Amino acid sequence: MEYSYKKSRHRGSFIFCAVILIAIGCGAAYAVRCSSDSDLHTSDQPVQVNKQYDERDKKNEEEDWRLVLVNRENPLNQTSDMELTELSNGQKVDTRIYPYLQKMFEDMRSEGIYPVVVSGYRTESEQQQIYNDKIAEFVADGLTEYEAKKEAERWVAIPGTSEHQLGLGVDINADGINSYGYEVYEWLEDNAHRYGFIHRYPDDKTDITGIANEPWHYRYVGQKAADEIHRRGICLEEYLEGK
């Protein structure tokens, strides 16, 4: 009887452990499946940012990386340690601006406007290719090489002078299905500063920026600077000149 009792007790313990292990396994499988599902984003919707990043980003708010000026007079000083975050469509941005871009896009979608980042960070070689292609386009339209180069530079920054190489500039357009371009541009013009972004190349500042109006190009400068730039109707060059 004693042997039989012990054997029965051991068998019961074994069954109990087996049930627990199966439950844990099912829970893990479900968690993996949910994690996989959460990675399936549409229209550039960025993933959630964890609390650890938020704390690190608060520290970065005290630095001046947000106000680096890049234009023809101030070519880019390349940094090899830039940390980038990849969006769901393959475009990349400086990791430090990621949570602000995410929040802005979430709020736009909540109002029925669906944006997409069509161009984020670019390497110098990628910028060079875009620059060359734009020159070739104007030459094909009948301009001389010199004329084509001058015209191209109104629309495409010379390699080494593009904010896209900073990772802080993004070209934002409509998804082409749920929204129109003008809806995105109007919303950004009125609201982007609340998230730290500015319309970098406005129509009335081309004589200062050297770039034609680009209603899709937005640059992260931080909320304080963005608020003042928007309120005063100035561009980044004017803001930095007055600091």
What is the structure's pLDDT at 80? 54
Average pLDDT over residues 9-29: 42
CA–CA separation, 219 and 124 (whole Å) = 18
Phi, psi (5° rounding) for residue 74? -130, 75
| Predicted structure pTM score | 0.72
What is the structure's pLDDT at 155? 87
Q: What pLDDT, in 10s, does the model give residues 166-211?
A: 999 999 999 999 999 999 999 999 999 999 999 999 999 999 998 9
What is the structure's pLDDT at 90? 96
Average pLDDT over residues 27-33: 37
CA–CA separation, 158 and 206 (whole Å) = 15
Phi, psi (5° rounding) for residue 94? -55, 130
Query: Looking at the predicted structure, is the pLDDT value of residue 77 above 80?
Result: no
What is the structure's pLDDT at 21? 40
Mean pLDDT score across all residues of the chain: 81
Question: Both tokens of residue 31?
Answer: 């968690």
Strand partners, 217: 171
CA–CA separation, 41 and 43 (whole Å) = 7
Q: Residue 4's pLDDT band (boundaries 50, 70, 90)?
A: very low
What is the structure's pLDDT at 27? 43
Q: Cα 218 vs. chain centroid, distance in angstroms? A: 10
Give me the active site residues, please. 214
Question: Both tokens of residue 3?
Answer: 């042997």
- 3-class DSSP state of 81: coil
Q: What percent of the chain has pLDDT over 70?
A: 72
Q: Residue 63's pLDDT band (boundaries 50, 70, 90)?
A: low
What is the structure's pLDDT at 243? 73
Element containing residue 110 per DSSP (H, E)? helix 98-110
